[in-house]
Amino acid sequence: MSHRIIAFAATIFLAVSLAAAAPSKHAGKSSAADKRLAEQILANRDFGIVMQKGRDLLKTGFNAGSGYAQVWIRDLNTFINYSLKVRPKSEVRDALLKFFYFQEFDGDMVDGYEQIGPDAKIDYYGRFTRYDMPGYAFHKNTVEADQESSLIQAVYKYIKATGDTSFLNEVVHGKTVLRRMELALGYMMNFRYDHKYGMMWNAATADWGDVQFDDPWGVKLDENSYPACSIYTNAMFLIALRDFVKLCPDTATSAKWQKIHDEIARNVMKYLWDPKHDKFIPHLYIRCDPFRDKKGFDENKIFYHGGTAVAIEAGLLNRKQILISLHKMEEDVKDAGAQSIGLTMYPPYPAGTFANKGMEPYHYQNGGDWTWFGARMITDLVRYGYARQAYREIQPFVKRVVKNNGFYEWYTVGGKPQGSASFRGSAGVLMQAIDALRAWARDNAK
């Protein structure tokens, strides 16, 4: 079959898939309360300020932020939609396509890449180079397992936004992008799938983070790692499977991956969901539980905010469970004295849990406050009919962008900005949340 025929089939299949996946329009008359809320949303001046600041930031590049030289796929995945609004499509396409040039023969995908000079030194990421990509270096934090999933999600977003199904037929080192996407899924099944529990595994980290416990730096799988199944990695893979099925024009291939999706989704709710406490357990350890003999510490007391938000995006929780999760987040924010539901988790892991000194309680991924994940929950809430709650919870995210004149990577529980001062992932997810609220408002202002 020629590439032209494949491209045409992909276009037709994708159009049908996207139409089926689209949310239903608001039906019937809006209540007076909904109309008042809609008017507030549409009149919110801070929303306009944030959107403009976001556009200005995303015009300037694709690297994760001012503290990062690399283009990271987990970050690009969260702002690619808005890069397409302010950068030429060809530039966004090229930034995304480059990831496939760094893919290994078994489907393994990198975290990020960067341009380097001839005298560049290996930095703390443990960079590598390829003979066929001169002038570029790449790296991977192997404790995590969201790179392949993030890439597939980003491709889906790119094609959904542009209609450019020809991207799937681009040939990289003898294989089309579509084939390489399936190779990435295959890598996950071959090297990150636990057959006992029927789920993906990664090294135990703090929720969605990429720093493990017993290692001073903590980003590489080694003898210090504790393999475990957790909600973030599995939810990301489920979203990637869902997106791949929508993009794949071959019905037999789609059916194969849909079956895998459904099986993993069932196992996630069977093994990771704690119905007694209405939450996901932090980790299901495959070989060794590092906290088994630590008296006075119960890891299951920790509620993962970020992983829960991604699980909602993956369609794992119903409306009642979503509302319960929101209430838990709100209580956590109150108890921690934090600013927003972007609080990574609560309570944080105790001091000394991480050998990395940057992971003390309420620092970085161990209880820092991240718009990058908290704003995803806002979009989830709107999608599931909780616009009023979403508008209430988005306020801290928006106000701190205006106050601090930018999108910081994370904040302390007291509201002090930390990390990269221009973090593109924060911009992307907050802009998406604002757009979701505005869309709801337009439907309900009538």
Kind and range of the H or E element at 303?
strand 303-304
Residue 19 has pLDDT above 50, yes or no: no
Dist. CA 77–CA 359, nearest whole Å = 25
Sign of CA dihedral 322, 346, 276, 205: positive
What confidence tens digit (pLDDT) does each residue in 348-404 have? Answer: 999 999 999 999 999 999 999 999 999 999 999 999 999 999 999 999 999 999 999
The mean per-residue pLDDT over the stretch 336-345 comes to 98
Give the lowest-confidence range in 44-53, 132-141, 172-181, 275-284. 132-141
Q: Is 275 helix (H, G, I), strand (E, B) or coil?
A: coil
The proportion of the chain whose per-residue pLDDT surpasses 70, expressed as a percent, equals 93
Average pLDDT over residues 231-241: 99
Range of the domain at 18: 3-444
Question: pLDDT tens digit string along 77-133?
Answer: 999 999 999 999 999 999 999 999 999 999 999 999 999 888 877 665 567 888 889
The CATH code of the domain that includes 324 is 1.50.10.10
The phi and psi torsions of 360 (rounded to 5 degrees) equal -70, 165
DSSP-assigned letters across all residues of 158-179: HHHHH--GGGGG-EETTEEHHH
